[in-house]
Amino acid sequence: MMKSIYRLFILIFLLVSCGGGGGSSPTETEPGDNNGTNLYEFPNATNLDQASQIEIVTWNIRQFPQHSTSVDYVKNLLEKWNADIYLLQEVSSSNQKRSDLITMINSMANYSYILDEESGNNGFALIYKSANITFNSKNELWADTPNGNDGDSDYENNAQYQFASRPPMETYITWTDGTKSIDLYVIDVHYKCCGDDAYDSSDSSDETTRRHHASLLLTDYVINNRSSDNVVIVGDFNNTGSQSITNPTLSPFTDPNISSSSSFSMVDQSILTGPSSGYSWQGWTSSYSPAHFDHIIVNQPLFQYNSIMNVGVISMPTETSTDATTVSNRVSDHQPVFMSFYP
């Protein structure tokens, strides 16, 4: 009996010493810790760059940087996508986080940047290829108007309030490939969130009402001041509720029954009216349903390129080979929307 127990003890000792026959247990490695595969190489990432075409990407990057790995994710993705122009929303205004963004862009070969100055904790950034883009000027629209609800039915009096204290950042740039060039006014927006899709003219604080007023202000501005210029409006419109061209948030740009819509074209309209699986916001860590919040809209002088414009949503889980929850918590809960065309 004692010999049997002794033999069993020796057998257990040998199995433990040799790893139990199952090999060593794998250890997880955080991105960027240099143990094993570099998760920031993103071999599945799409190269958007094509010779002689303009590539524009709009992306809400969720209080950037929201995580210690956010900079590594975003930097490597922007470089992999290799687009000419990036328009970002939700750039944090804290000194440290803005410093992180500036340091990141300065480490990206061939890119320069412009930041807003008026949008508080949900700011804007333009990142562009220095070889192809010349920055001419910046204008933060309605930044000098009140940003509080005065209860006045005249929404122009407190235009900044309609835009949730995030004055749209208009940048005037020139794109060239060395043989041809085009001037563009690019307007970056981030509308008020939440609420529903019911416009209530009697409630000046209603989220949808404010978004509708913001779109009315913007369509009037472009029609009255930029009618002969090339204008691209991009950003997070937060169009909750029905994902349709009659949603009050979008209707001044898209609803044929509103006269201003004839001056604009939503390049990504097929995504808005398509299956929810293709939307830019999937609600990965939210109780809300998926919605297509992020849009690219052009004005009439650019209609000539509509038939040759490419547009799409960049699938972040696919691009990063990372699960959706990790993407949402470390990078953003929004997916980028891109447009490209040959001028």
**DSSP of 202-236, one letter per residue?**
T-TT-HHHHHHHHHHHHHHHHHHHSTTS-EEEEEE
The one-letter amino acid at 118: E
Which pLDDT belongs to residue 38? 65
State the Cα–Cα distance between residues 278 and 69, nearest whole angstrom. 26
Q: Which domain holds residue 60?
A: 41-341
State the Cα–Cα distance between residues 239 and 189, nearest whole angstrom. 12
Q: What is the CATH number of the domain that holds 216?
A: 3.60.10.10
Is 265 domain-assigned? yes
Which pLDDT belongs to residue 147? 85
State the Cα–Cα distance between residues 258 and 154, nearest whole angstrom. 19
Is 92 domain-assigned? yes
Residue segments in the chain with a per-residue pLDDT below the cut of 70: 1-38
Which pLDDT belongs to residue 25? 29
* CA-to-CA dists, residue 109 to 54, 130, 205, 299, 304, angstroms: 18, 9, 44, 32, 33
Which pLDDT belongs to residue 154? 83
Which pLDDT belongs to residue 179? 95
Is 163 domain-assigned? yes
Is 8 domain-assigned? no
Q: What is the pLDDT of residues 126-142, one digit of tens each?
A: 999 999 999 999 999 99
Which pLDDT belongs to residue 77? 97
3-state DSSP call for residue 266? strand
Is 27 domain-assigned? no
State the Cα–Cα distance between residues 226 and 228, nearest whole angstrom. 6
Is 29 domain-assigned? no
Bridge partners for 57 per DSSP: 86, 338
State the Cα–Cα distance between residues 12 and 131, nearest whole angstrom. 67
Q: Which residues contact 239 (CB under 8 A, 6 or more apart)?
A: 191, 197, 211, 247, 249, 250, 291, 292, 293
Is 11 domain-assigned? no
Phi-psi region of 208 (alpha: psi -120 to 50; beta: other; left: phi over 0): alpha
Is 7 domain-assigned? no
Which pLDDT belongs to residue 37? 55
Q: Number of folded domains in the chain?
A: 1
Q: Check if the beta carbon of residue 230 is closer than 8 Å to that of residue 185.
A: yes
